[in-house]
């Protein structure tokens, strides 16, 4: 992890590298990724709590009593709980360097920076639960149904759709083919 301010793109790349490294360290090499192995890491306690204790949150992480506590909303479906655990673990990984590495994000707007950090944590979770080579292998092998892929990776259909768009397998925009080839100008052409 470079300990310097990262661009948004660099932060995405680092998140994918961290997810890939974690999969290797936890000896996870096939879908669905056993996200529960994160709970076996030292100095980490994972709890699931009912919605009434955390009605507006899917999860949170905090340093408490000499260890990290990650709490996941047990009222959410399995795919969401798995994604939340991986997402919160990214916050744990980055905690000691977060102020430095995310300093450039948000261009001075703290709310925007926080949203970007949350998207980076989502990206880490997606890379951990749906690693690029595994998704590519499944897609190239003929599994191109979003619901079937979501079931294979034990994630929500929404998370799978987002991952497929990010990897370039789906286009989330319906546009006429010709629109991809138009010259884009910001000013009208000058009169002859």
Q: Which residues pair with 69 in a beta bridge?
A: 45, 62
Query: Per residue in 103-160, pLDDT tens?
Result: 999 888 999 999 999 999 999 999 999 999 999 999 999 999 999 999 999 999 999 9
Average pLDDT over residues 166-172: 88
**Res 173: pLDDT:** 67
**With bands split at pLDDT 50, 70 and 90, how would you rate the model's confidence at 180?**
low
d(CA 187, CA 191): 12
**187 — pLDDT class (breaks 50, 70, 90):** very low
Q: Is the pLDDT of residue 61 over 50?
A: yes
Segment 65-80 mean pLDDT = 90
Domains assigned to the chain: 8-168 (1.10.10.2910)
Who's near 130: CB < 8 A, 6+ residues apart? 31, 153, 155, 159, 160, 163
pLDDT value of position 111: 94
């Amino acid at each position: 992890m470079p300990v310097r301010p990262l661009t948004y793109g660099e932060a995405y790349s680092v998140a994918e590298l961290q997810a890939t490294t974690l999969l290797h360290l936890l000896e996870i090499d096939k879908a669905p990724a056993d996200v529960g192995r994160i709970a076996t890491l030292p100095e980490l306690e994972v709890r699931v709590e009912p919605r009434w204790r955390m009605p507006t949150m899917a999860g949170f992480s905090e340093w408490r009593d000499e260890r990290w506590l990650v709490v996941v909303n047990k009222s959410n479906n399995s795919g969401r709980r798995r994604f939340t655990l991986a997402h919160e673990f990214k916050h744990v990984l980055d905690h000691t360097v977060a102020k430095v590495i995310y300093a450039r994000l948000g261009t001075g707007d703290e709310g925007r920076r926080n949203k970007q950090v949350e998207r980076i944590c989502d990206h880490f979770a997606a890379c951990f639960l749906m690693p690029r080579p595994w998704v590519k292998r499944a897609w190239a092998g003929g599994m191109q149904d979003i619901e079937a892929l979501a079931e294979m990776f034990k994630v929500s259909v929404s998370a799978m759709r987002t991952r497929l768009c990010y990897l370039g397998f789906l286009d989330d925009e319906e546009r006429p083919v010709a629109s991809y080839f138009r010259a884009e100008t910001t000013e009208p052409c000058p009169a002859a």
